[in-house]
Amino acid sequence: MNTAMTKTSTRKLTTLAMLAAVAVVLAAVVHFPLLPAAPFLEYDPADIAIFIGAFAFGPWAGLGLAVVAAVIQGLTVSASSGPIGILMHILATGSFVLVAGSLYQRRKTRARAILSLCVGVLVWTVVMLGCNLVFTPIFMGQPVETVLQMLIPVILPFNLLKGGINALITYIVYKPVSRVVHQLVGEES
């Protein structure tokens, strides 16, 4: 491997690490309940940094970023959710970045960004509905029937809102932030 490629790889890895750190800081600083009916379901903007990483560097880099951020966040600022919270975060955010990142990488236009983010939110929501049916009864010690009763009025709107807010903010900030990210790496944006 030549020196220029090594330098670019190192800068890319460093930039991804900075995005992971931003994600964890955002989760630590900004978190609040979105729905009064479920104050235990808190919004945080951590995934915005991960979505930006997936758009800038592709879906697999986004997935790696999601795993790293979820583990660090789950061991620090969200430690009360334990391994189940880490796994659910990886599955939700990971599914989002794989789908949205793949769609966006094919054609980097504003219209494709909107499509990618919308499809990503829908995939995230479906994955979280499944995760909540499987993992929430274990985590909360509640029967599946209790979770089923919360699915439509609470879990579905929460995930659509959280994913939608983070996708919208990503859409608004991606281009200016991506210019800085690509300058750090030494690539064209």
Q: In this structure, what CATH number is given to the domain that contains residue 152?
A: 1.10.1760.20
Please tell me the total count of domains within the chain. 1
Indicate whether 91 pLDDT > 70.
yes
Q: Are 157 and 128 in contact (CB under 8 A)?
A: no
Q: Are 55 and 175 in contact (CB under 8 A)?
A: no
Strands 42-43 and 32-33: antiparallel
**137, part of any domain:** yes
**35, part of any domain:** no
- Extract the runs of DSSP E, i.e. beta strands, from the chain: 32-33, 42-43
Mean of the per-residue pLDDT values of the chain: 92
∠ CA 35-77-22, rounded to 5°: 95
Confidence tier at 183 by pLDDT (50, 70, 90): confident
**3, part of any domain:** no
Q: Are 167 and 117 in contact (CB under 8 A)?
A: yes
**37, part of any domain:** no
Give the tens place of pLDDT for each residue, 1-22.
577 677 778 888 999 999 999 9
Give the tens place of pLDDT for each residue, 18-62.
999 999 999 999 999 999 888 888 999 999 999 999 999 999 999
Query: What is the dihedral sign for C-alpha 78, 82, 88, 89?
Result: positive
**74, part of any domain:** yes
Confidence tier at 141 by pLDDT (50, 70, 90): confident
Neighbouring residues of 13: CB distance < 8 A, sequence distance ≥ 6: none
**176, part of any domain:** yes
pLDDT-above-70 percentage for the chain = 96
What single-letter amino acid sits at 147?
Answer: V
Q: What is the C-alpha to C-alpha distance for residues 148 and 164, in angstroms, rounded to an integer?
A: 22
Q: 49, 21, 44, 5: which is closest to 180 by C-alpha?
A: 49
Give the per-residue pLDDT at 171: 97
Give the per-residue pLDDT at 178: 85
- DSSP β-bridge partners for residue 43: 32
Tokens of 82: 């334990």
Q: What is the C-alpha to C-alpha distance for residues 130 and 136, in angstroms, rounded to an integer?
A: 10
Give the per-residue pLDDT at 173: 96
- Cα dihedral value 26, 29, 30, 35, nearest 10: 120
Average pLDDT over residues 151-169: 96
**114, part of any domain:** yes
**36, part of any domain:** no
Q: What is the C-alpha to C-alpha distance for residues 100 and 54, in angstroms, rounded to an integer?
A: 8
| Parent domain of 83 | 8-30+42-183
Q: Count of CB atoms within 10 A of residue 171's CB?
A: 17
